[in-house]
């Protein structure tokens, strides 16, 4: 049944994506907010499809920590799922992404209209300067900046070194960091066809002040909070044995 549900979900997602991408192209002349509104609707549509077809629901803890000012979000990265949730959950935002995503037909073309910070992860210092330059511009517009400091999706129970780009941007601009932990990787794995039923837990932490903080220290504070909360989520909201065995 999980195979059949996953196949149906993949088919539905493939069917709805091109029309939404086309709609974004059609409304692009009206400014960047119009394509963004269409993209948020696509995100919500995919989340509903995942819940209805695959039985994949979600809960958010810590909504009271969401501020009314732009922040730099530093989040655990286990799945493509959180990249879909965040536009539906948080205010107007851009994500720091690898530039190769812009080449994906339909999805990448639509993504480019949202003005993400698309970096070459191999460019080192140049990528850091790009994050600072373009991130400062986006924050000045009142947009949030979402960064996945691990750089790539990491399986549950594993961790990668946290890149400093997001913390560097926050510290250099005096912008608070909003840390986010979750366990999406148990249900929607990296590059995996199968989508497992259950409830993903997303935990939002209190904003971390960045003024007068060294970027490395800020990055470490956020990393410690995220990784600690990921472990607590695994303990407090353990996924089904079937989902856990899939990892």
Nearest to 62 by CA among 239, 240, 225: 225
Q: What is the pLDDT of residue 13?
A: 94
CB contact at 8 A, 169 and 175: yes
Q: What's the confidence (pLDDT) of residue 120?
A: 82
pLDDT in tens, the chain (247 residues): 899 999 999 999 999 998 998 999 999 998 888 999 999 999 999 999 999 999 999 999 999 999 999 999 999 999 999 999 999 999 999 999 888 888 887 778 788 888 888 888 777 788 889 999 999 999 999 999 999 999 889 999 898 999 999 999 999 999 999 999 999 999 999 888 999 999 999 999 999 999 888 999 999 999 999 999 999 999 887 666 565 555 6
Please count the structural domains in the chain.
Answer: 1
| Residue 225: CATH number of its domain | 3.40.1130.10
Say what the pLDDT of residue 48 is.
Answer: 97
CB atoms within 10 A of CB 130: 17
In whole angstroms, give the CA distance from residue 234 to residue 156: 9
Which two three-digit tokens encode residue 123?
């460019």
- For 107, the domain range is 58-245
pLDDT at 241: 59
- Judge whether 14 lies within some domain: no
Cα–Cα distance between 153 and 142 in angstroms, integer? 27
**60 class by beta-carbon count within 10 Å (0-12 exposed, 13-18 middle, 19+ buried):** middle
Distance, in Å, from the CA atom of 127 to the CA atom of 247, rounded to the nearest integer, reads 31
**Under DSSP, is residue 177 helix (H, G, I), strand (E, B) or coil?**
strand
* 20 belongs to a structural domain: no
Q: Residue 151: inside a domain, yes or no?
A: yes
Q: Does some domain include residue 228?
A: yes
pTM to 2 decimal places: 0.91
Residue 51 lies in a domain: no
- The pLDDT assigned to 195 comes to 95
pLDDT, residue 243, reads 58
Residue 100 lies in a domain: yes
């Amino acid at each position: 049944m999980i195979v059949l549900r996953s196949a149906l979900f993949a088919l539905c997602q493939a069917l709805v994506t091109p029309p939404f991408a086309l709609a974004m192209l059609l409304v692009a002349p009206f400014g960047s907010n119009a394509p963004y509104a269409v993209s948020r609707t696509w995100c919500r549509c995919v989340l509903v499809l995942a819940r209805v077809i695959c039985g994949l629901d979600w809960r958010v803890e810590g909504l009271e920590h969401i501020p009314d000012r732009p922040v730099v979000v530093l989040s655990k990265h286990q799945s493509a799922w959180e990249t879909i949730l965040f536009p539906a959950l948080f205010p107007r935002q851009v994500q720091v992404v690898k530039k190769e995503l812009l080449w994906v037909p339909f999805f990448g073309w639509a993504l480019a209209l949202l003005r993400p910070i698309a970096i070459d992860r191999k460019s080192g210092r140049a990528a850091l300067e790009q994050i600072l330059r373009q991130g400062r511009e986006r924050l000045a517009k009142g947009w949030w900046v979402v960064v996945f400091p691990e750089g790539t999706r990491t399986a549950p129970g594993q961790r990668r070194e946290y890149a400093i780009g997001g913390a560097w941007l926050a510290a250099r601009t005096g912008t608070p960091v909003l840390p986010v932990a979750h366990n999406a990787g148990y249900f929607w794995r990296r590059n995996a066809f199968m989508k497992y039923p259950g409830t993903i837990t997303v935990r939002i932490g209190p904003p971390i002040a960045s003024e007068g903080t060294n970027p490395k220290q800020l990055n470490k504070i956020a990393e410690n909070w995220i990784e600690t909360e990921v472990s607590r989520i695994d303990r407090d909201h353990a996924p089904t044995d079937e989902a856990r065995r899939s990892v």
